[in-house]
A and B are shown apart, each in its own frame.
Chain A
Amino acid sequence: MVASAIFILDSKGKTLISRIFRGDVDADITGDFCARVIDVDDESGLKPVFRVDSKKRTYAYVKHSNLYVVGVTVRNSNAAMLLEFLNKLVEVFKEYFKEVQEESIRDNFVIIYELLDEMMDFGFPQVSESKVLQQYITQDYHVLEVPRPPVAVTNAVSWRSEGIRHSRNEVFLDVIEKVNIVISGNGSTLRSEILGSLMVKSLLSGMPDLKLGLNDRLQLSQAGNNRREKSVDLEDIKFHQCVRLSKFESDRTISFIPPDGEFELMSYRLNMQVRPLVWVDAVIELKATRVEYLVKVRSQLKPRCIANNVRIRLPVQLDADTPSFKCSSGKYKYVPAQDELVWTIKQLKAGRELVMRGRFNLPSIGENQERDIATKRPITVSFEVPYFAVSGLQVRFLKVMEKSGYRALPWVRYITQAGDYQIRIV
Chain B
Amino acid sequence: MSKAFSNAKKGELFELKAELNSQSNSTRKEAVRKTIASMTIGRDVSGLFTDVLNCMQSPNIEIKKLVYLYIVNYAHTKPDLAILAVNSFVRDSEDPNPLLRALAIRTMACIRVDKIVEYLLEPLQRTLHDQDPYVRKTAAVCVAKLHAMNPELVQDQGMLDSLLDLLTDGNPMVVSNAVASLMDIAEYRPDFFKIDSPLVMKLLHALNECNEWGQVLLLDALAEYNPRNHDEADAIVERVTSRLQHANGAVVLAATRIVIANAEKLSSDEKRMNSLKKLTAPLISLLSANGEFQYVALRSIRIINQKYSFLFQNDVRVFFCKYNDPLYVKFEKVELLIALLDESNSSIVLQEMNEYASEVDMDFVKKSIEGIGRIALAHEASADKCVELLVALLKAGHDGVTDQAVVVLKNIFRSYPQRYLSVVEVICNNCESIGEPDAKASMIWIFGEYAEHIPQVVELLGELMEGFSTEPVSVQLQLLSAAVKVYLARGHEGKGLLESALRLSTKETYSTDLRDRGYAYSRLLSCGDEVARKVVMNERPAVSDTRGEMSADLQADLSRNMGKMSSLLMRKSASLRSPTAPPVLTVRDSDNLLSMGNDELLMIDDGPTDAIQGRENGSEQFLGTDDLIGALPSVANGSQPPQKDAKAGNLLDELFGAPGKRIDRQALERVEISFNSSGPGVSSSMLPVAPATAPARAQPLPPVDDILSLPATQPQK
Contact = CB atoms under 8 A, between A and B. Distances in A.
B296 A79 contact: yes
Interface in A68-89: 73-81, 83-85, 87
B360 A127 contact: no
Nearest to B102: A149
A51 to B, nearest CB: 6
Contacts of A373: 360
Interface stretch (B240-248, B506-514, B529-537): B240-248
Contact of B564 (A50, A78, A193): A78
Interface stretch (B138-146, B453-461, B629-637): B138-146
B66 A110 contact: yes
B213 A141 contact: no
A334 interface: no
A153 B173 contact: yes
B99 A149 contact: yes
Interface in A248-289: 248-249, 264, 266-267, 269, 271
B177 A124 contact: yes
A229 interface: no
A52 interface: yes
Interface stretch (A16-24, A219-227, A294-302): A16-24
B659 interface: no
A168 interface: no
B561 interface: yes
B598 A54 contact: yes
B356 to A, nearest CB: 10
Interface centre among B187, B285, B361 (most CB of A within 10 A): B285
A122 interface: yes
Interface string B296-318: 10000000000000000001011
Interface string B380-400: 000000000000000000110
A34 interface: no
A376 B359 contact: yes
Contact of A1 (B36, B187, B254, B293): B187
Nearest to A109: B40
B363 A44 contact: yes
Given A17-B40, A49-B295, A241 B211 contact: yes
Given A146-B100, A271-B315, A182 B247 contact: no
A360 B269 CA distance: 64
B242 A84 contact: no
B290 interface: yes
A103 interface: no
A146 B99 contact: yes
A344 interface: no
A85 B145 CA distance: 21
Contacts of B252: 238
A80 B102 CA distance: 28
Nearest to A141: B62
Contacts of A12: none
A62 B358 contact: no
Given A54-B594, A147-B61, A377 B601 contact: no
A84 B217 CA distance: 13
B577 interface: yes
A249 B141 contact: no
A110 B67 CA distance: 11
Interface in B554-588: 561, 563-569, 571, 573, 576-581
A121 B569 contact: no
A79 B564 contact: yes
A322 interface: no
A63 B329 CA distance: 14
Interface string A13-55: 0011110011110010000000000000011111111111110
B65 interface: yes
A83 B296 contact: yes
Given A110-B66, A241-B246, A249 B187 contact: no
Given A121-B141, A236-B284, 9 more contacts: A49-B568, A51-B565, A75-B565, A75-B578, A78-B250, A87-B292, A117-B65, A128-B213, A269-B281
The 8 closest A-B pairs by CB, nearest first: A236-B281, A80-B563, A249-B242, A125-B213, A44-B363, A81-B250, A48-B292, A156-B209
Interface of A: 1, 15-18, 21-24, 27, 42-54, 56, 58, 60-63, 73-81, 83-85, 87, 109-110, 113-114, 117, 121-122, 124-129, 136, 141, 143-144, 146-149, 153-156, 158-159, 182, 184, 190-191, 193, 195, 235-241, 243-246, 248-249, 264, 266-267, 269, 271, 369, 373, 376-378, 420, 422, 424
21 contacts: A1-B180, A17-B40, A23-B148, A23-B149, A45-B617, A50-B569, A53-B602, A58-B565, A76-B573, A79-B296, A80-B249, A85-B250, A110-B66, A113-B69, A126-B137, A154-B173, A155-B171, A235-B281, A236-B281, A249-B242, A376-B360
